[in-house]
Structures are given as structure tokens and as C-alpha cells.
Amino acid sequence: MSDWRDFGPDTLSPPLRAALVVFARHGYHGASIRTIAEEAGLSVPGLYHHYRSKQVILAAVVDTAMAEMLSHTAAACEDAGDDPVTRFDNLVECLARFHMARRDQAFVASTEMRSMEPDVRDHHIAQRDSQQAMIEKTIRSGVDSGDFACEHPEDAARAISSLCVSIASWYRPDGPLTADDVVARHLDFARAMVGAGRDRRPGPDSSRSGGLT
């Protein structure tokens, strides 16, 4: 990808985008196949032609979001090279930007784990754990290099993940904070968690506005 900071329009198919809207508005159990079909401009048989069940639709919506997040964070790590501090900053920034750009996807993935069938949930948890392991590995590298003073990298990685996930619940594009403001604040929080000894600012970004409601 040309820029891991830029998420742009989502790549969901029209039926999946319709399902995302309905899941975010009504919840998985409050959504019906008929409502999703109507939102997508399809008949119920037409929707079933693409996806055989509501559970398959949920799995596809969540998997698409997680795959996008993982691909962007992998690119952010690669862009940092061997420096663990830059890699850590890039990871946190990327996660913050993802949860601003994909608020509905993040909300559905977080709140509808309870609605996932075991195999779907296991796959989702494996993706989530892969993301957290990326953060933990980076923290451990920073501890080894002497850049971080963190006694519990696993706990710190979990806390940083939760911090970034929470952005999706309150961020609004028309709020008082710009996207860069949100990134800068969360980088400060995350650096404090790992005992970072350097003060680095986030990289360049198109100046999108956003913030708290």
C-alpha cells in the first residue's frame, strides 16, 4: 500500500456495507435478513444468493475489517525498519487511525463477539491476538534496546490495544479534535505505559478533523 496511514473508502461489497449499517444500528440479534436486504436494495433471495446466513455475513464483515487492520499495521511496522521506538509509534498511530476511520467495523467486531459461532469467534480471536502479539513483540524489542522501561510487556500491549479500540466509541469526525490531535494524545498515553525515553511526534497525515462529541 502507498500509505499505511490512509484508510480511504472501505472495500466492503454493497450487501456487507448494508449489513454493517444494520448491525451497528440494531445489533446482530436485532437485525434481520430482510432488513439487511432492504438496506442493500436486494430481495431476500438475492441476499441469500451472496451469503447463506446472517452468521456468514457477520463473519465476512468482521474478517474484512480485521484483515485490513492487520495489513496496515504490518505495513506500518515495515516502514519503521529496525528501530523499535519508531515501530511502536507507527503501530499505535496506525491502530488509532484505524479506529477513527472504521468506527462501525470496530464497534461491531468488539460488541458482537458474543453473537459469533465458535469457529467464527476463534478466528476473530486469533486475528486479535496476532495484532496484540505484534505490539508486545515491539515493546519487548524496545525493552531489550534500552528505549523502554516496561516490566510487563504483555499487560502493556493489552492496555494499549484497549486504549485504541475505545477510540471508536467516542470519536466523531466533526468534533473539536483533529485526527492528528487524537494520534498525538494516544501516543503520549502509550509511550507512558511502556516507559519510553524519547519524545517523538506522529508522522504526516492529511489534516482530517475530528474529535469528541
pLDDT tens-digit readout, 122-177: 999 999 999 999 999 999 999 999 999 999 999 999 999 999 999 999 999 999 99
The answer to whether 107 and 169 are in contact (CB under 8 A) is: yes
**pLDDT 10s digits, 43-60:** 999 999 999 999 999 999
Query: What pLDDT shows up at residue 212?
Result: 45
What phi and psi values does residue 204 have, to the nearest 5 degrees?
Answer: -70, 155
Q: How far is the C-alpha of 101 from the C-alpha of 161, rounded, in Å? A: 16
The secondary element (H helix, E strand) that includes residue 86 is helix 84-101
Query: What pLDDT shows up at residue 2?
Result: 72
C-alpha cell at 164: 485504541
Which of 21-30, 60-69, 192-201 has the least mean pLDDT? 192-201
The answer to whether 80 and 33 are in contact (CB under 8 A) is: no
Q: Which residues contact 210 (CB under 8 A, 6 or more apart)?
A: 100, 171, 172, 173, 174, 175, 177, 178, 179, 182
Spell out the long-range contacts of 148-154 with Cβ–Cβ below 8 A and sequence spacing 24 or more: 148/84, 148/85, 148/88, 148/194, 148/195, 148/196, 148/197, 149/194, 149/195, 149/197, 150/193, 150/194, 150/195, 153/194
Centre a 10 Å sphere on the Cβ of residue 152 and count the other Cβ atoms it contains.
12
Kindly list the distances between the CA atom of residue 188 and the CA atoms of 24, 110, 181, 201, 207, in Å, as whole numbers in the listed order: 30, 24, 11, 9, 19
Domains in the chain with CATH codes: 55-212 (1.10.357.10)
Q: How far is the C-alpha of 90 from the C-alpha of 200, rounded, in Å? A: 11
Q: Has residue 207 got a pLDDT over 80?
A: no
C-alpha cell at 185: 494524545
Q: Which residues contact 202 (CB under 8 A, 6 or more apart)?
A: 89, 93, 180, 183, 184, 187
Mean pLDDT, residues 84-91: 97
Proportion of the chain above pLDDT 70, given as a percent = 92
